């Protein structure tokens, strides 16, 4: 088997792959979303908004962004949620406490606390919504050179907050709380922070949403996101006697 990904800009390339025996294994969409309140409210689904407000008003639920000083706690919360919400779906092993902490430590230098959110029910971690600044918005100013001048330019743009774009890394809700409005609530909690005057981030991208994940696609649509990129992963079966199957649905 062999898989490749390609940004689709037309049908000719796709037809060429089919000619040689490649077949579409899955498509991945990138959704784009404007974060300011006026644009958000124009596009957001009213059902989504009402469900989110209902959950946010319940005292048994709490949604908050991370604090770097308590990163060890959030690493453990991430591990708990990921292992329940994602590991089994992806067919991967559970994340260990050590790997979860190492992941948070790697993100720490670039993370913005207000872009990483966790949801709790009666104090137990049930959801996360992890976003990061889109650092390419800064790296474009250093021309790919992180020498002394490049580091100064990077620090300058980071301190002056010239980057206006963030991207979604991973989103998850533990199975017992899926479909209750928790997805909407954690998204709205993070969005309300973005509605402050002069908030740094005005654009958000949800990257690499597979067409085998209809729940996540629906979530992006409810937020008012619109697909503006599509990548396709093709697979080639070297054993031509085997039946080709697309990626299983989540």
pLDDT tens for the chain, residues 1 to 250: 444 445 545 555 566 566 678 889 999 999 998 888 877 777 777 777 888 899 999 999 999 999 999 999 999 999 999 999 876 666 667 889 999 999 999 998 889 999 999 999 999 999 999 999 987 777 676 776 767 777 777 776 677 677 789 988 888 899 999 888 898 899 889 988 988 988 889 888 888 888 998 888 888 887 778 888 898 889 888 888 888 989 888 7
Selecting from 3.30.420.40, 3.40.630.30, 1.10.1740.10, 3.40.50.2300, what CATH number does the domain 2-233 have? 3.40.630.30
Tell me which residue of 102, 113, 165, 169 sits closest to 138, measured CA to CA.
165
Please, are residues 2 and 235 in contact by the beta-carbon 8 Å criterion?
A: yes
Tell me which residue of 162, 67, 57 sits closest to 108, measured CA to CA.
67
Please tell me the predicted confidence (pLDDT) of residue 129.
93
Token readout for 212 is 């085998």
Q: What is the largest CA-CA distance in the chain?
A: 61
Helix (H, G, I), strand (E, B) or coil at 91: coil
DSSP 19-56: HTT-EEEEEEEEEEEE-SHHHHHHHS-HHHHHHHHHHH
CA within 13 Å, CB half, 100: 19
Please tell me the predicted confidence (pLDDT) of residue 241.
85
CA within 13 Å, CB half, 80: 15
d(CA 248, CA 169) in angstroms, rounded, equals 21
Q: What are phi and psi of 104, to 5 degrees?
A: -65, -40
Q: What are phi and psi of 184, to 5 degrees?
A: -65, -40
Please tell me the predicted confidence (pLDDT) of residue 135.
77
Q: What is the pTM of this model?
A: 0.80
Please tell me the predicted confidence (pLDDT) of residue 72.
94
Tell me which residue of 21, 75, 49 sits closest to 236, measured CA to CA.
21
Burial of 19 (0-12, 13-18, 19+ CB in 10 A): exposed
């Amino acid at each position: 088997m062999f898989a490749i990904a390609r940004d689709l800009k037309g049908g000719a390339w796709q037809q060429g792959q089919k000619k040689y025996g490649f077949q579409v294994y899955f498509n991945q969409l990138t959704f784009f979303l404007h974060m300011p309140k006026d644009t958000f409210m124009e596009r957001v689904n009213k059902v989504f908004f009402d469900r989110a407000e209902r959950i946010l008003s319940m005292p048994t639920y709490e949604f908050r962004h991370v604090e770097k000083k308590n990163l060890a706690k959030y690493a453990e919360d991430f591990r708990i949620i990921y292992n329940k919400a994602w590991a089994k779906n992806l067919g991967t092993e559970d994340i260990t406490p050590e790997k979860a902490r190492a992941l948070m430590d790697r993100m720490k230098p670039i993370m913005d606390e207000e872009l990483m959110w966790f949801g709790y029910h009666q104090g137990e971690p049930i959801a996360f919504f992890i976003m990061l600044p889109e650092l390419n918005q800064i790296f474009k100013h250093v021309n790919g050179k992180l020498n002394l001048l490049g580091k100064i330019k990077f620090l300058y743009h980071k301190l002056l907050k010239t980057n206006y774009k963030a991207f979604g890394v991973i989103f998850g809700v533990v199975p017992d709380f899926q479909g209750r409005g928790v997805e909407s609530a954690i998204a709205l909690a993070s969005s309300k922070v973005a509605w402050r005057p002069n908030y740094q981030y005005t654009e958000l991208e949800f990257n690499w949403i597979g067409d085998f994940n209809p729940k996540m696609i629906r979530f992006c649509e409810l937020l008012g996101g619109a697909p503006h990129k599509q990548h396709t992963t093709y697979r080639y079966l070297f054993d031509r006697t085997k039946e080709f199957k697309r990626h299983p649905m989540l």
